[in-house]
Amino acid sequence: MVALMKISVMDTSASPAFAVETIGLTKRYPLSWKRKIVLALDHLDLQIRPGEVFGLLGPNGSGKSTTLKLLLGLAIPSEGEARIFGLPPDSLEARARVGFLPENPYFYAFLTGDETLRFYGKLCGVTGAKLEKRIEELIDLVGLQNGRERPLRSYSKGMLQRIGLAQALIHDPDLLFLDEPTAGVDPLGSSQIRDLILRLKKMGKTVVFSSHLLEQVQEVADRVAIFSLGKKALEGSLEAMLVENQSTQINLPAELSAEQQERVRQLLVQAGVGAAEIRFTRPHLSLEQLYLRTIQKAPDANPPTHPRP
């Protein structure tokens, strides 16, 4: 009896090494009318450390959302298990420490932005002055001043995504699950969401997000897993996986004249680099960067200031 108690005390006091851990996590959905099953997730092993930004990549239907649902206790695993900070995902303790932004979020259409946050705050046990202060902070953080008094029915897609982020953060969780946070959002909005993820990382939060837009993942994720047909096909740190070991890039802040290029070439050949392998190019802005540079100067979505005629 005494021994048992000691073990349980040790278990709870040990701080878990992983924010998210899954062992052989599997989900099958029965299709009852066909007597068939869909294997949505196939023996997933995953370990995400606290403070990491982790990207789940993969085409539609590859099991990203299923993974997140299992990690939130919204779906029950067919096999295997998941742990959130060492806790079972469907325990209230685990869910008090996670925030979730669902895919294509949709909330109560007849509530205003403030009312929505108040509602989700109450569900998390945040109340009173603390709640109001938190709402102010979050509205600022996601930039939704113009949506506070408006019903969500009148929100644009990007605004829904922002209120979704705000409600996910209402109880200041340590771990965030964001399902396709930038899907259907315009480039400026999605770059702001990226900045927000980086800010959350600086605050020490763990962020797990799914996306099928690769460019965006690259800019924020520390590590990624690539899913295909419910299986994890590849996992690793972006740093390690994306570096091309066989080449070097030199960036200069000025354009080189033909004569200067020739002199650099000679220097490099002297240093033992084959002349045929040296190429001079001018870096391009991505279209996204150009777009963002143009738009960033304009104010955010126009607030409803015009009086009714």
Partner 1 sequence: MISSLKRIIAIGRNTLTEAVRQRVLSVLLIFGLVMVACSVFFSKLLIDEQIKFVKDFGCGAIGLFGFAIALLSTAQLIPQELHNRTIYTILAKPVRRVEFLLGKFLGVVLLLSLSVMLMSIAFAGALYWQEWQGIDSTQIGYDQRTPHWQSSPDMVNMYQRDILEIENQVRDPQLIEAILLIFAKLVMTSGIALLISTFATSSIFTIVTTFMIYLIGHMETVARQVWLGRGAETTLYQSGFLGILSLLIPDMNSFTIVDEILAGNRVPWAHTFNLLGYAGVYLIVLLALSEISFRYREL
Ligand X SMILES: Nc1ncnc2c1ncn2[C@@H]1O[C@H](COP(=O)(O)OP(=O)(O)O)[C@@H](O)[C@H]1O
Helix (H, G, I), strand (E, B) or coil at 265: helix
Helix (H, G, I), strand (E, B) or coil at 242: helix
Complex with partner 1: residue 120 or 223, whichever CB lies closer = 120
Please give the radius of gyration of the chain, using alpha carbons only, rounded to the nearest integer: 24
Q: How many residues at the interface with Mg ion, by CB under 5 A?
A: 2
Choose from ligand X, partner 1, Mg ion, none: what does 107 bind? Cβ within 5-8 Å by kind. partner 1
98-101 and 175-179 beta bridge pairing: parallel
- Nearest-approach distance from CB 65 to Mg ion, in angstroms: 3
Binding mask 56-95 for ligand X (x = CB under 6 A): --x-xxxxxxx-----------------------------
Distances from the Cα of 226 to the Cαs of 33, 44, 229, 231, in angstroms? Answer: 31, 12, 10, 8
Candidate list 40, 57, 87, 152; residue touching ligand X; CB under 6 A: 40
Give the span between the Cα atoms of 263 and 18, in whole angstroms: 53
Give the span between the Cα atoms of 108 and 202, in whole angstroms: 31
**Binding of ligand X at residue 32 (CB under 6 A)?**
no
Complex with ligand X: residue 59 or 304, whichever CB lies closer = 59
Q: Two tokens at 246? A: 């066989």
CB 151 within 8 A of CB 109: yes
Question: Which listed range, 7-15, 54-62, 116-124, 279-287, lies at the site for ligand X (CB under 6 A)?
Answer: 54-62
CB 187 within 8 A of CB 107: no
The residue number with the shortest CB distance to Mg ion is 65
Give the span between the Cα atoms of 161 and 155, in whole angstroms: 10
Binding site for partner 1 (CB under 8 A): 29, 69, 72-76, 92-93, 95-96, 98-100, 102-111, 115, 119-120, 122-125, 151, 164, 167, 171, 177
Q: How many residues at the interface with ligand X, by CB under 6 A?
A: 11
CB 225 within 8 A of CB 54: yes
CB 54 within 8 A of CB 222: yes
Complex with partner 1: residue 83 or 223, whichever CB lies closer = 83
- Nearest-approach distance from CB 243 to ligand X, in angstroms: 27
List 226's β-bridge partners, or say none: 57, 234
Binding mask 90-129 for Mg ion (x = CB under 5 A): -------------x--------------------------
Looking at this protein, which amino acid is placed at residue 163?
I
Choose from partner 1, Mg ion, ligand X, none: what does 105 bind? Cβ within 5-8 Å by kind. partner 1
Q: What residues contact residue 221 under an 8 Å CB cut-off, 6+ apart? A: 53, 54, 55, 209, 238
> Phi and psi of 100, rounded to 5°?
-135, 130
Complex with partner 1: residue 53 or 84, whichever CB lies closer = 84
Complex with ligand X: residue 206 or 211, whichever CB lies closer = 211
Number of residues assigned to the chain: 309
**Binding of Mg ion at residue 65 (CB under 5 A)?**
yes
Choose from partner 1, Mg ion, ligand X, none: what does 77 bind? Cβ within 5-8 Å by kind. none
Where does this chain bind ligand X (CB under 6 A)? 29, 38, 40, 58, 60-66
